[in-house]
Chain A
């Protein structure tokens, strides 16, 4: 039986479409425009943090660096920020769920370029780097510390450094050894027994600890990758050659990324993130407590005494645009998580907020299948992916790795922020 004219022409159309998706062609003008917007050269200067008056103070950064690596700021003397955010591994740990004093429910986030991000944590429950840093110290599965013991450690080990940045350290005599709002029952009772003035005194030092950490983290800047060299050559009108060249497969992946696969909808700008929260239908991990992402984070950031509008912030309310104009309710918050930067992504499996996906190949399959979300609605639409298309997308993601002498030494702290 002869196929009808229509089916024949549709089959021909299919052939054309499939081959178009397989064959690299030169980069179009529109693609070149998007490629330039993804280059590290397009990274804006580090945004100011008016809520942290010492954000760009080198002495604060030095103190923050010491605190970041200090194991004695933990319940068992064995955990520092760097236990999970390992400088030699792009400030993450390569495991699905972080392990500190206990096991966390989420995956450690890389810190490269983190200071460009208005919201911190997978769900954005902190609105500044300094407010974020206060979380892990008191988190029972991370450092497991308590507030009074933590500020006592600063008073005993970092008094001079603290005072040179923040002024005289408030008097801690008369306070209990251990007390805090999230610790054990006795620690919480001891905290509740303090006067308001005593609690505020402790909170102020605690907030300053976070501000010093933030000053340090602001120096963890993204480094140039093979992709950036390609993008810059393209932008300069040079034909990318030699070490600036990408392979046909990598270019094909790039074209899918900015085109048919629409990755660039969310992974955009020079850090390849839109800094926003999306439900992408990532499966829940069986056995873990319910995780609703942004939907529960909104109330937490509003209630956080260390947010931009709170008493410990150095900002005027008018400078707290992110929290003032954040979306507070609605379906779109359900299981929405922060779009991660894709810089250095190939070197930091497993993926997603609880390490649900083991490899980049499976990540790409997830996007092409676009499964239903465990709750809320996925923003993804399925798309047809050939084996070659999958290889190409993964090959492109691998170009977001440091180039040349930067390789292996990615995002080491202490670099001056770009542009200054």
Chain B
């Protein structure tokens, strides 16, 4: 009987610990926050940054994406699609951002980005150019 009580307490403890962990989950310590990196298969090198600083939680804003070859040559004919979300919350982006302008020299503007919560966000870009396609994921912490 007593043992049962201990087991029940233990279950509650685990539940509390788990839920507490789930809710107050902070981003992993070793999260790669680089704003410039090669795509998964190394086809392109991509750099991203908000068009204007500071990057605020809430308002719609734009990002500038720069795509080059690994050798550093700008890629100007890329088709880029944007996806993402919050891996720890299991939801996607609150908006559907899209590339609205190719600015030349491998630069593109993505409009309609919003981060409506604090925490770890992923911004995923799928890039196709010159018959090759590749993808890259950037991490951000709001």
Contact = CB atoms under 8 A, between A and B. Distances in A.
Contact of B58 (A3, A265, A269, A384): A269
B19 A325 contact: no
Contacts of A44: 59
A328 interface: yes
A365 B60 CA distance: 33
A17 to B, nearest CB: 5
A142 interface: no
Interface string A314-348: 00000001101111101010000000000000000
A21 to B, nearest CB: 8
B31 interface: no
A158 interface: no
B13 interface: yes
B53 to A, nearest CB: 15
Contacts of B117: 265-266, 268, 274
Interface in A272-318: 274-276
Interface stretch (B37-45, B68-76, B90-98, B127-135): B90-98
A32 to B, nearest CB: 14
A26 to B, nearest CB: 17
A260 B57 CA distance: 21
B95 to A, nearest CB: 5
A264 B14 CA distance: 24
A83 B100 CA distance: 44
A14 B112 contact: no
B16 interface: yes
A416 interface: no
A324 B112 contact: yes
Nearest to A270: B58
A337 to B, nearest CB: 14
Given A13-B17, A262-B23, A268-B118, A321 B60 contact: yes
B141 interface: no
B15 interface: yes
Interface in A347-397: 379, 381-384
Given A3-B3, A266-B117, A321-B112, A275 B58 contact: yes
A34 interface: yes
Interface residues of B, number: 37
A7 B60 CA distance: 50
Contact of B16 (A259, A321, A384): A384
B103 interface: no
Interface residues of A, number: 42
B60 A325 contact: yes
Contacts of A260: 19-20, 23-24
B12 A259 contact: no
B116 A275 contact: yes
Contacts of A321: 60, 111-112
A391 B10 CA distance: 25
A321 B100 CA distance: 11
A14 B89 contact: no
B3 A14 contact: no
A14 B20 CA distance: 12
A268 B32 CA distance: 26
A41 interface: no
B9 A10 contact: yes
A1 interface: yes
A7 B19 contact: no
A382 B22 CA distance: 10
B58 A274 contact: yes
B21 to A, nearest CB: 10
A325 B13 contact: no
B57 to A, nearest CB: 7
Contacts of A3: 2-3, 6
B12 A14 contact: yes
22 contacts: A3-B6, A10-B10, A10-B14, A11-B9, A14-B12, A17-B13, A17-B16, A18-B16, A262-B23, A265-B89, A269-B57, A274-B58, A322-B60, A325-B95, A325-B111, A326-B96, A328-B96, A332-B91, A379-B91, A381-B19, A383-B19, A384-B12
Given A325-B97, A325-B98, A384-B12, 18 more contacts: A1-B2, A1-B3, A7-B9, A14-B12, A14-B16, A260-B19, A260-B24, A264-B118, A265-B117, A274-B58, A321-B111, A322-B60, A325-B95, A325-B112, A332-B92, A379-B91, A383-B19, A384-B16
